[in-house]
A and B are shown apart, each in its own frame.
Chain A
Amino acid sequence: MESIADYEFVRLLGEANYGDFYLAKTPPRLPVDDEFVVVKVATGLASDDAFRRATRELRHFALVSSPKLVTIFDAGRQGSTFYYAMEYLPLGSLGKPARPLTREETRGAVADAADAAHALHEHGIAHRDIKPGNILLHADGAKLSDLGLSQLLSPGLVMTGLGSIGVEFTDPAILVGGEASRATDIWALGAVLHRALTGFSLYGELPSREPLLLVRAILASSPEPHSSLSAEEADVVRACIAGDPMDRPSTAEEVAKRIRALI
């Protein structure tokens, strides 16, 4: 693709659930000073209903003012393709940083994402798709991006395709029909912290890339923090992924505090 609507693409930034990210020139109609924006193009089924739902959800997302949430500028569709534009952060994501991060920076980025998730929760929104690729880095920390749009485009969908990418960050309760909540986002924050600090999933080497086998294996095993974590780090991860939501930190804000308290 070279463009959508009046966004002229500069280059492809990456692929994500349900679509691709492009770096694009900011069109003059947007009240934005930045030279570039990121445009996410979703190849989902942009029916009228899905489009209304998605734009409504994005508006609510945009209403949550947090310096730790990526700013959304514009949402729209062309034909059956849905897109939205958001601010561009040039330092990459926690999943693919532009430069190596120190342990402190990594923890700080997850804590920032936890703050952002908390801001969403306080506005009645569960993020549903917290993972390293959605935690974007800038000079002073990180911002959380990409509300789980795929669920909005396809009602009932709780986990998007693309095999193993999201499964390791998904609270197993979701995999058996649970509702997205503070607790399921907190589970994801623990899994992200673990992956970012150790390079491993909570399930060790994932047994298969075949989605049905993978989900089955994950449901049959219990997540366990890697031995390379410090005892304090492992405690935070373990708290976030506790089987009973009651045993997890009660808010994402508390997760952020506990991560920042790590030495």
Chain B
Amino acid sequence: MMVPDDAEVAGLSPGSRLSDAACIPHPGEGLVGRWGDVLLVIGDADDAVVPLLLRHCEAVAEAGGDGRMLSRRLAGFLTTYEQELPAFVAAAPVATGLAVFVQGAAQVVVGEEFTVSGAASLAWVDRLIPWPVATLTMSAGVATEPGGGPYNLQRGVVPGAGLTLQGQSHDAAPVDAGQGGAEEPADEARHDGTPEEVGGLDRPEPAFTPSPDRWPGQGDEPPAFESVVMDLNAPEVDEESPRKPLPVASKVSRQAPESKGPVVHGVYCKNNHFNDPGVLFCAVCGINMVQQTPVLTEGPRPPLGVLLLDDGSAFQLDSDYVLGREPMHDDDVRAGRLRGIMLSDPDKSVSRAHARIELRQWDVVLIDNSSANGTYVAAEDDPHWTPLPPGTPHSLRSGNRIRLGSRTLVFNSYRGE
């Protein structure tokens, strides 16, 4: 494979981040999209497949913008897509180079002469272009060129027939097509010897990448990083008011606990611990609840237990959860309404958002999310696993085991039934 040896463009070498390179859209028919490290050009912006391709690219960007994931994902998608496809090209970096994925008459031109085109192929073409990569041009049809003007797409989707990616040009005005683009870094946030931004905490950052060292130290430039020096004299150190001391057990535990949970109906034990009205003994102090007259009152719900995972981690059940291989793609998790529990699973026997755990009053409810391999439960010592019908809530009892693909979890109730 021919590779241009001109590596003077800092934005495209492995020692720095692709997302800091300038992206210049070319005028013409079609659509140009960029999400950090992930780039996409589609020839026909009105085709039915466009929203689907956008979603795939966005998801890959959110998961860290890994080129291998992008190729796998697009290949998987195209295998099952039966309609006619417009020409398109997508690209994202991997540690050793740039992964490009080309469908139809689209093409990628690297440096001066090296070209990947899908025109002569029945299916798509995917390639890994090793670092260093000089300038890169992607177009959905015949080669296109920048139309002049200070355009630089940082994030989002704009009309265009192609794009050129090159090292950051400082006089280019950023075009932010919505979705909260990257801010220009403040000068004082730069570290010596680092060619790109390292500044504020608000820069879009992948929520998850499969490998922490995507950029091996092949370049001379140190990779970009951001840091918060613990300089206690800095005025912004404590933007919130200082915290109050933690409560001392002797002063609080005989009062109602300061739980942040939603208000539910329950009963207080003699020692003022809030309980499920159905229990015989207080979950906190174990005192017999039968001997006192129960008064049903409203109060904040305490955590209902923990989920223990087979890797030894444990999650507190004070919130609803989405369980899966990539729960961060679930809309509710992304919006911060639910928490995700990531069940890593190289065999992919666990679906991305496989099942949910919901807290309903005093019950912990498991719901299969129409997962590919199903969700199973078993009582503590029962060797038989029972499959859950998709979408049907199942109340868990303490000690219940849960099987999602190859992973096993156990629910421990605070009630310790």
Residues of chain A at the chain B interface (Cβ within 8 Å): 1-6, 29-31, 41, 43, 45-49, 51-52, 55-56, 58-60, 62-63, 72-81, 121-126, 155-164, 166-167, 174-179, 181-183, 210-212, 214-216, 219, 244-246, 248, 250-251
Asked whether A30 lies within 8 Å of B229 as measured between CB atoms, the reply is yes
Q: Is B143 an interface residue (CB 8 A)?
A: no
Within 8 A of A (CB), among B250-299: 250, 253-254, 257, 285
Asked whether A123 lies within 8 Å of B226 as measured between CB atoms, the reply is no
Q: Is B64 an interface residue (CB 8 A)?
A: yes
Cα-based distance from A212 to B341 in the complex (angstroms)? 17
Chain B residues near A251 (CB, 8 Å)? 248
Cα-based distance from A97 to B359 in the complex (angstroms)? 45
Q: Is B319 an interface residue (CB 8 A)?
A: yes
Using CB atoms, name the residue of chain B closest to A159. B314
Asked whether B339 lies within 8 Å of A155 as measured between CB atoms, the reply is yes
Chain A residues near B308 (CB, 8 Å)? 175, 211-212, 215
Residue of A1, A5, A41 with highest tally of chain B CB at under 10 A: A5
Chain B residues near A178 (CB, 8 Å)? 303, 414
Partner of B408, one of A6, A166, A212: A212
Using CB atoms, name the residue of chain B closest to A179. B303
Chain B residues near A45 (CB, 8 Å)? 207-208, 328, 342
Chain B residues near A161 (CB, 8 Å)? 309, 311-313
Cα-based distance from A4 to B224 in the complex (angstroms)? 10
Asked whether A160 lies within 8 Å of B310 as measured between CB atoms, the reply is no
Identify the stretch in B126-134, B210-218, B369-377 within 8 Å (CB) of chain A at 4 or more residues: B210-218
A interface, by DSSP: helix, strand, loop or mixed?
mixed
Asked whether B225 lies within 8 Å of A77 as measured between CB atoms, the reply is yes
Asked whether A76 lies within 8 Å of B226 as measured between CB atoms, the reply is yes
Q: Min CB distance, B284 to chain A, in Å?
A: 8
Cα-based distance from A215 to B398 in the complex (angstroms)? 13
Chain A residues near B254 (CB, 8 Å)? 246
Residues of chain B at the chain A interface (Cβ within 8 Å): 64, 191-193, 201-209, 212-215, 217, 222-232, 237-238, 240, 242-250, 253-254, 257, 285, 302-306, 308-319, 321, 328, 336, 339, 341-342, 399, 401, 408, 410, 412-414, 416
Q: Min CB distance, A34 to chain B, in Å?
A: 14
B interface, by DSSP: helix, strand, loop or mixed?
loop
Asked whether B339 lies within 8 Å of A1 as measured between CB atoms, the reply is no
Asked whether B318 lies within 8 Å of A177 as measured between CB atoms, the reply is yes
Cα-based distance from A155 to B313 in the complex (angstroms)? 12
Residue of B217, B309, B328 with highest tally of chain A CB at under 10 A: B309
Partner of B246, one of A55, A124, A210: A124
Asked whether B412 lies within 8 Å of A176 as measured between CB atoms, the reply is yes
Q: Min CB distance, A19 to chain B, in Å?
A: 10
Also in contact, A122 and B245, with CB within 8 A (given A76-B225, A78-B225)? yes
Q: Min CB distance, B325 to chain A, in Å?
A: 13
Chain A residues near B317 (CB, 8 Å)? 177
The 3 A-B pairs at the shortest CB distance, nearest first, are namely A124-B243, A76-B227, A211-B312
Cα-based distance from A242 to B196 in the complex (angstroms)? 54
Also in contact, A212 and B205, with CB within 8 A (given A73-B230, A175-B306, A182-B246)? no
Asked whether A157 lies within 8 Å of B315 as measured between CB atoms, the reply is yes
Also in contact, A79 and B214, with CB within 8 A (given A177-B303, A181-B249)? yes
Asked whether A55 lies within 8 Å of B191 as measured between CB atoms, the reply is no
Q: Min CB distance, A150 to chain B, in Å?
A: 8
- 29 CB-based A-B contacts, threshold 8 Å: A5-B222, A6-B191, A31-B229, A43-B212, A51-B201, A58-B228, A60-B243, A63-B232, A74-B227, A74-B228, A76-B226, A78-B225, A80-B206, A126-B246, A155-B319, A157-B316, A161-B309, A176-B305, A176-B306, A176-B413, A177-B304, A177-B317, A181-B247, A210-B310, A211-B310, A212-B310, A215-B308, A244-B285, A246-B253
Cα-based distance from A123 to B207 in the complex (angstroms)? 30
Cα-based distance from A175 to B304 in the complex (angstroms)? 11
Q: Min CB distance, A6 to chain B, in Å?
A: 6
Q: Min CB distance, B383 to chain A, in Å?
A: 15
Asked whether B306 lies within 8 Å of A80 as measured between CB atoms, the reply is no
Also in contact, A211 and B309, with CB within 8 A (given A48-B205, A80-B212)? yes
Partner of A5, one of B215, B227, B242: B227
Chain A residues near B228 (CB, 8 Å)? 55, 58-59, 74-76
Q: Min CB distance, A61 to chain B, in Å?
A: 9
Asked whether A31 lies within 8 Å of B231 as measured between CB atoms, the reply is yes
Q: Min CB distance, B134 to chain A, in Å?
A: 23
Q: Min CB distance, B378 to chain A, in Å?
A: 12
Asked whether B312 lies within 8 Å of A75 as measured between CB atoms, the reply is no
Using CB atoms, name the residue of chain B closest to A76. B227
Q: A77-B205, A158-B316 known; 12 other A-B pairs, CB under 8 Å? A: A47-B205, A51-B205, A74-B227, A79-B223, A121-B245, A122-B245, A156-B316, A160-B313, A177-B302, A177-B305, A177-B413, A181-B249
Chain A residues near B212 (CB, 8 Å)? 41, 43, 79-81
Also in contact, A156 and B339, with CB within 8 A (given A212-B410, A248-B249)? yes
Asked whether A182 lies within 8 Å of B249 as measured between CB atoms, the reply is yes
Chain A residues near B416 (CB, 8 Å)? 176, 219
Asked whether B312 lies within 8 Å of A63 as measured between CB atoms, the reply is no
Asked whether A48 lies within 8 Å of B213 as measured between CB atoms, the reply is no
Asked whether B413 lies within 8 Å of A156 as measured between CB atoms, the reply is no
Asked whether B230 lies within 8 Å of A80 as measured between CB atoms, the reply is no
Asked whether B238 lies within 8 Å of A63 as measured between CB atoms, the reply is yes
Q: Min CB distance, B294 to chain A, in Å?
A: 22
Asked whether A80 lies within 8 Å of B237 as measured between CB atoms, the reply is no
Chain B residues near A216 (CB, 8 Å)? 399, 410
Q: Min CB distance, B388 to chain A, in Å?
A: 20
Q: Min CB distance, A70 to chain B, in Å?
A: 12
Asked whether A246 lies within 8 Å of B243 as measured between CB atoms, the reply is no
Chain B residues near A162 (CB, 8 Å)? 311-312
